Amino acid sequence: MNAWMPSASLVGGAAALSAAFLWALASIWFSRLGQHLPVIQINLLKGFLALLILTMVLTVNGGTLAALPFQPLLMLVISGIVGITIGDTAYLRALQSLGARRTLLLANLAPPMVGLIAWAFLDERLLLRAWLGIFLTLGGITWVIVERTQEGSHSINLRTGLWFGFLAALCQSVAVVLSRAALTRSPIDALQSTIVRLGAALLVLTLWSRARQQSILPWRALVAQPRLIVWLLTATLLGTVLAMWLQQIAIDLTPVGIVQTLLSTSPLFILPIVALQGEQISRRAVAGALVALVGVGLLYL
């Protein structure tokens, strides 16, 4: 009797959920770092560190970036620049203009965008049940975000915030579809694709910072506060190295509309984390999480 083996799509879904969990966990340390370092410097630091670690892993495993097919390589370079350089910057600008709650709500535009773009350019068609699962999952996430987050007296710049929030969701969607095309149409693996995307994004971010005459690495702050190095290492390993690698594995194995939906579940993983820290979780937040879990279940029934 043959042992049960999980399908590629199921493995990809597990990888996407694991990435979402790691992003939620890493957000604790990234938020602490944000109280001491500028956001652009955090992005560059974690990027350089993650690129170094991933390149070492590739080398130890006998891998190489030499002789990669040009067209999928170009897709990954564009994906990194669009998704990480432009998309992440737009997301941070949206946070400044709208606050966390409204920005996270706009981020929920990404999964249906991904589904539509993948249908148009990759001919990936999702069943009606999968679309129901996507919207049910996003509905539960939205319910949790709206209930839990309090913006207080945050200054709102609606027009600017909506523009950058929409741009961030669109860039993320395009980047995911480009990654899917590169991974499924070439021998490039998830680790190689992660390194290429991150390297391209870092190059553009570095040039951008130098053009604006901004400091790239805050050595004085790190030397003065060694605990920042510990936070940076922890957050980078969890939220950049492992999470980005798992994301690329998921994109390679599972339709991207489903992947993006599962990646959007990070706010749900925050609930048990803050509960362990002593914060009380409301019944409404728990109900929203359960609705989202039903939606995730529909994606794989």
Q: What torsion do the CA atoms of 242, 244, 247, 249 make, to the nearest 10 degrees?
A: -70
To the question of pTM greater than 0.85 for the whole model, the response is: no
Per-residue pLDDT, 4: 41
pLDDT in tens, 125-136: 877 888 888 888
Between CA 53 and CA 165 the distance in angstroms is 31
The DSSP symbol for 2 reads P
Alpha carbon distance 116, 170 (integer Å): 11
What secondary structure letter does DSSP report for 212?
T
The alpha helices in the chain, defined as continuous H runs, are 8-33, 39-60, 70-80, 88-98, 100-107, 110-121, 128-148, 158-184, 190-211, 219-224, 227-236, 243-253, 256-263, 266-276, 283-300
Tell me, rounded to whole angstroms, the distance of Cα 12 from its chain centroid. 15
Question: Which range has highest mean pLDDT (55-64, 154-163, 263-272)?
Answer: 55-64
pLDDT, one tens digit per residue, over 29-67 is: 877 776 777 777 777 888 889 999 999 999 998 888 888
Tracing tokens 């879990």 back to the chain, one arrives at 293
Say which range, 130-139, 186-195, 217-226, 287-296, has the weakest mean pLDDT. Answer: 217-226
